[in-house]
Structure formats: C-alpha cells, structure tokens
Amino acid sequence: MMGKIQFTALATALALSLSGGAFGMTRAEYKAGKDEASAKYKSEKAACKSMTGNAKDVCIEEAKGHEKVAKAELENTYQPSARHAKDVHLTKAKADYAVAKEKCDDRSGNDKDVCKKEAKAAYVAAKSDAKVEQKVADPNATAREKSAAKKDAAEDKKDAGYAAAKEKCDAMKGDAKDNCVKQAKAKFGQS
C-alpha cells in the first residue's frame, strides 16, 4: 500500500512532468510551427501567380485560409483551451466562407446571389456550432446557458437557411415564386 508521502511525491512528479510538456510543444517548436505556416503560405501564394482571373483569387484565399487555420491549430496545440479550440473552428469557418464567396464571383445574377447566401448560411452554421461547442465544454456554464446557446444556434441556422432558400425563389415569378417562398417559410419555420 502506498503511503501518503509516496502518493504526494508521485502526484507532484506527475504534475511537474505534465506542466512541462502538457501543451505538447516547446516555445521553439511553436515558433518553428509559425514559421513553417508562413513559409507554406508564401509557397502556396507563389503557386497562384501562374493563374488568372477568379481562379487566382480563389487560390490566394485558399492559401490565406490554410495559413490562418494552421496558426490557429498551432496555438491550440501550444496552449490548449476551450477558447483556442473555438478559435480553430471559427478560423476554419471564416476561411471556408472567404473561399466560398470568392468562388461565387464566377457566377452572375441570381445564381451568384444564391451562392453567396448559401456560403453565408454555411458560415453561420459553423460559427453557431463553435459557440455551442465552447459553451457545452465550459464546466462553469449552467444547463440553462448551454440550452440557450443551442437554441440560439438553431435559430441562427434557421434564419440563414431561410435567407438562402428565399434567394433561390427570387429567380422565379408569379405563383411559382409564391409557392417557393411558402415552402421555404414552412421548411425553416418562418411566419
């Protein structure tokens, strides 16, 4: 049987070993990771130079997004926390949104508007999910706060989904448009 002193010594040794490497990387590794992300961005951006038009713009947005996501993930690995985990999700969502919006520029008219609304809906959904995930992971959050966060996220997603569905209806006329809007309202619980 382990004595109290032995147990305390073991617990202290474990705590010290974890505090030195609990974050998974040293400051030097963290800096090297940041440098690597920046170098990869420069390389990806350079590869975009041979492209033209919107394909080039999409390529550059993808390169920017890769760098931002890599740095957010690195920060979360270096100093893990609920906030950094949320930042990773939000950074991914923002990067995906920026690329999706840029891809919409190849379109025109209502098709372009629909594309942008769908991109926005996907962004709102990802952002809402990140907020809920952070609230649920928060040990200090009450059940009421967690439930409210889930409800708010669901509402935000419905509103964004409705906006995208309604935008599709704008290309129609007369009864077809009225029926489309009616179906969108029913699907997304709008009145």
Residue of 145, 133, 34, 39 whose CA lies nearest to 87: 133
pLDDT of residue 87: 94
The pLDDT-based confidence of 22 (bands split at 50, 70, 90) is: very low
pLDDT of residue 20: 41
Average pLDDT of span 73-86: 93
Average pLDDT of span 87-115: 96
Phi-psi region at 53: left, alpha or beta (left = phi > 0; alpha = psi -120 to 50): left
Average pLDDT of span 44-54: 97
Q: Which residues of 100-131 are buried (b: 16+ CB within 10 A; e: fewer)?
A: bbbbbeeeeeeeebbbbbbbbbbbbbbbbbbb
Percent of all residues in the chain with a pLDDT value above 90, rounded to a whole number: 75
pTM of the model: 0.78
Average pLDDT of span 40-62: 97
The pLDDT-based confidence of 140 (bands split at 50, 70, 90) is: confident
